[in-house]
Chain A
Amino acid sequence: MTVLSLRNLVVVVLLAGLLLLPIYAQVAGSPFLLTLFTRIVILAIAATSLNLIMGYGGMVSFGHAVYLGIGSYAVGICAFEGVESGFVQWPLAIAASALFALVIGALSLRTRGVYFIMITLAFAQMAYYVAIGLDRYGGDDGMILEARSRFAGLINLNDKTAFYYLCLALLFATIFLVWRLVNSRFGMVIQGARSNERRMRAIGFPVYRYRLVCFVIAGTICGLAGALLANFTDFVSPAAMHWTRSGDLIIMVVLGGMASPFGPLIGAVALLALEEALSGITEYWQIILGPMLLLIVLFARGGIDGILARLRHA
């Protein structure tokens, strides 16, 4: 494996592009590009956290967007009740999603396969309906975030470029964390349980507990992405945890490449760029995207990252 494989080249170009993007947006005079990519980066954080449980752990969660919602509601509710300090809001968002992930995980991980997919979906849906029921916080319509989180002069989130770089730094930190995690002893157990759970248990690992910890870590990271998302859109609504959002996250991971460190990022860029491109062609762009997903599932196993890796070998 040479360092200069096509796959590594793509990753390096992508990362450099992300780093230089604000400068390009400034020069080209298109602030829209910066907005689009802030969104991509935030969703890439969420997708990377999903990759930890789905790609490496084999736990297909169809309710991962619920933590996006919980994270953003934590920020939104704090702001609504007059607490605007990010030092309070963000740890609260993280703690709340960790707690939720612990409860959802503890119940869901008792099941396998299809049951796990369905039960995570159902829990997310439950949270969605609870959010709709929160009349004080806007109910179905959601609520506008009066002010972005304040960090006592440390960083101003209203500055679009600073906010973008904050998100990007958190994305890199997440990718690094997940990479370190899956290559640690802990990660080996998680991956081992994906390929052969019975054997891992026979060796003496408490698989359930390892999985639960992994599930909570992923939920926690996604909760942070939720806090970013609320600040990004200045808006909190149940739509953040709608089940199609969970579906989007799964698409990003699979499209980019499961169990690959940069796969979810590649997938997030590819999916959102595709959406932008298709919606430029026709108002009914989903009629193209839907069958494309089908084709990707049928013919492009391993996602973009897998294709890049295969091209190197061909």
Chain B
Amino acid sequence: MLLFIEQCLNGLQLGLLLFLLAAGLTLIFGIMDLVNLAHGSFYMLGAYFAATFAVMTDSFVLAALLAMLATLVVGMAVEVIAMRRLYGRDHLDHVLATFGLILFFNEFVRLAWGPEGRNIPLPSWLNTSIELLPGVPYSAYRLSIIVVALAVAFLLYLIVMRTRLGMLIRAGASNREMIGALGVNIKLLYTLIFGVGAALAGLAGLMQGAILTAQIGMGENILILAFVVIIIGGIGSIRGAFIASIMVGLIDTVGRSYLPEFFKLALSNEAAATAGPAMSSMLIYLLMALVLVVRPEGLFPAGGR
């Protein structure tokens, strides 16, 4: 039971990290109709920036804020230099161009920071464990990830649902041509959305980077998970991304820890030891296949299309 609560919290934490990535991705998909494979690169850059700033400023929180600012700037620069020219082009062109960007950023990081991973040092007040319920200790840092990500999600909700900017974003997601025709400065809006998406990815990257390490290519595996989230949630829908992220995070984490045990009931120990890990890494893809069979547009497709 203890372990189960801990695993659920870990799943929630993974899900919320996924949401930070998927929120930006799904907006970029939904509004600019752009497939951005390089979104994982911002995740990686966020972690590396944080590692550097943490050494420079000696403060984790300050480093995190600076790293987010830096990924925001990099994201906006990438939009202005490259992405802007790709809107309205074929999806295949997006895939190729952003694949090129991944190669560039991976190699850039190797050049700038070296091939070894970087640690992001945690302050002592985060590096402890908190007694959540009597007898249930949990890492304070992981808990803080959950809190921060929930806060960001709530802020995002407020911005998207309650402000003028959010209204434009929602309008853009359901009918892109129309808001341009109505005289909204689309160029600026696009640059802003791309930058904010990058900063959110950077935040996810630096938070995860402090648990593991900042590594080259760290963004790619989680990016594919984020794609799965977006497909399940429906492209362009923040709400869909949120629900799907939590689902994927929980299923992946809990599945990994319990499926092998579950198999042991039916199979021999040896067979379960082999089938368990393989099956549990397949779980979320099976979920995605199931969702697509039932609803090819995802659970919460953005309206208008």
Q: Which residues of A contact B (CB under 8 A)?
A: 54, 60, 62, 107, 110-115, 117-119, 121-123, 125-126, 129-130, 132-136, 243, 247, 250-251, 254, 284-287, 289-294, 296-298
Contacts and interface: CB of A to CB of B under 8 A. Distances in A.
Interface in B26-48: 29, 35
A136 B274 contact: yes
A121 B35 CA distance: 13
Contact of A290 (B89, B100, B111): B100
A297 B292 contact: no
B282 A294 contact: no
B281 A289 contact: no
Contact of B99 (A133, A251, A284): A251
Given A284-B110, A294-B97, A250 B92 contact: yes
Nearest to A289: B103
Contacts of B82: 294
A133 B281 contact: yes
Interface of B: 29, 35, 82, 85-86, 89, 91-93, 95-97, 99-108, 110-111, 220, 224, 227-228, 230-231, 235, 273-274, 277-278, 281-282, 285, 288-289, 292-293, 296-298
B231 A126 contact: no
B103 A290 contact: yes
Contact of B289 (A107, A136, A243, A296): A107
Given A129-B278, A130-B278, A254-B96, A287 B111 contact: yes
4 pairs of A and B residues whose beta carbons are closest in the complex: A293-B100, A290-B104, A133-B278, A290-B103
A298 B85 contact: yes
Contact of B35 (A117, A119, A134, A250): A117
Given A118-B231, A133-B274, A136-B274, A290 B107 contact: yes
Contacts of B230: 118
A290 B102 contact: yes
A17 to B, nearest CB: 27
Nearest to A136: B274
A129 B285 CA distance: 11
Nearest to B280: A133
A305 B127 CA distance: 58
Given A60-B91, A293-B99, A284 B278 contact: no
